[in-house]
Structure 1
Amino acid sequence: MIPNRAKVAVLISGRGSNMAALLYAAKAENCPFEIILVASNNPEAPGLTLAEAEGIATFAHPHKGMNRAEHDQIMHDAIKLAGAEYIALAGYMRILSDDFVNRWQDHMLNIHPSLLPKYKGLDTYQRALDAGDSHAGCSVHLVTATLDDGPILGQTKVAVQSDDTADILADRVLIAEHQLYPATLAKYVTRKADPDWILDQLRTRVLALEETHERESFGTPGWRVGSEKSAKYFAYFSYRHLGDTGTSVFVKTSGLDEQAALLDADPGLYFAPKFYGKSGWIAIRMDTGRTDWDHISDWLRKSWRMVAPKRLTKMMDIAEEF
């Protein structure tokens, strides 16, 4: 069983077939998420009975007679009380308030029965048939304030056959949904330990620093500051690079004394890189899934300042005085 699995709350309004797909996928020993709550705006939702039978905590509160914000607050409180880190919408037939969506930004997913951006909203199967599409399908996307409009995380195409009706096509798309949703959710909750995702996050922060450019060094991305001729390296990305394990960023310290102090203070976060360690560089681990990106940004700027041209640091010093 994977330790520290991502905790997911699933919101449903009816039978919860996609909830069931997620629930049973989570029973696998190598699944990186667990379902800790199934919640609904419909106390009679059949999916709640299934979740209870499988030993999953449930919560329900009807929305009738309540404004959207009040009901969303009740749902939010129940989800937080359960300890959920992510929300998976699985046939939750409520438009969520902007405030609720913002609270769960980048931590709430939805599955939709079309190949988005085609056919947002309802009646997606009939609309695909009426348009003469060769394929229908399903999409998993992040939830934003605009209906069915968030970044797409995964899609599955389903061929349209000549004798399809909307109901027949819906049954086949549903099979695809049950395959796509657990796989996409698993990939998303583990993204913070994925080297490509980490590199994208790191690159964005590094290249935001003044006069910084990227140049490969010994087969790995490195970043320099200054003119092309006189630029100096201040950071490197490492994914099992030159004998080092895991994924990390190398940055400069003031010297071996500071490096030793960091290693003593937090050996779980820092280590001395094999190739650069003798020069006082320090490696910061970024593959735990719990990276403090503010901490990484602070180190990048500190390392940048150690080698940046005086004309850049002087202006920064003056600005910081004010």
Structure 2
Amino acid sequence: MAPFTTLAEFREVLAAAPGSDQFARDQAEARNERLTKPLRALGRLDDLAIWMAGWQRTPKPTVDRPQIAIFAGNHGVTTARAVSAYPAEVTEQMVLNFQAGGAAINQIARSVGARLTVHAIDLHRPTADFTQGPAMTEEECVSALQIGWKAVEDGTDLFVAGEMGIGNTTAAAAIATALFGGSPCDWVGRGTGVDESGLLRKVEAVEAGLAVNPGARTNALEALRCLGGREIAAMAGSIARARVDSIPVILDGFICTAAAAVLARAVPGALDHVQAGHQSAEAAHRNMLLRLELDPLLTLGMRLGEGSGAAVAISVVRAAVACQSGMASFDEAGVTG
């Protein structure tokens, strides 16, 4: 059972989440200084290892049970405003592809040794068109948050949330505009590859959504409810669950980062357990990472979604903890330090 039944309770649970273990970080730092290498010679890998140590509460962190959870949902704005190059039914078709093992994320998950779970959320019942009013009722939003919360499996030691939802770059752009301000033009991108007229329709949809949902600009969880989708809320729920359980998280691209940004704006420090896996090719993603003060591990020009960029970054984190936990110290190796 998720320990919340309202958005207010969800925020309270997130605000009460424990922080990183400073003692374990200090131990990891001390161990790192004695490993058989020049001090900080592994650069960002050293930093990652110590960060992992704090959240796993051990100076020798591991990545033995990474999990990738994909959440899928459909959006009323997709059909109502023609904001995507693909029809809404592609969401369900891609879910079937995930389940059959045929998508890019299946191959990447297999290559990095991660468990992949797929969570389709009411695909035959899209959210409401947010240009006409809130995308979700509070009950619907809480239900999606709970699905994400419950999706994080026991024993997971590194978590990635991915998504599938035709039209969800429009929802993410609307959330970003509500949370960070500026013009919709600053946040709207081509997503699945819309042309100039499609790009204009996306901008107009975000403008309309913000106009009819004024509370989204002043309350982060209202931004999620009014402008988001079930899969975006589920990602937020899963990232929050990981925070409460002290599980490190690697963020994927623009849509996943928008879900995480809701948490950051709702509760300061809510993303202390998060690293940005990559910077996607979606233009506004870099700006969002800058606003959240997250430095991406990779920049590969990816814009697929599905958790794919974050999944590739699992290998980077694996390398970091392998060096931290497996290398010999100067004393152990008989090397003069």
TM-score between the two structures when normalised by the length of structure 1: 0.32
TM-score between the two structures when normalised by the length of structure 2: 0.30
- Higher relative CO (CA 8 A, sep ≥ 6), structure 1 or 2? 2
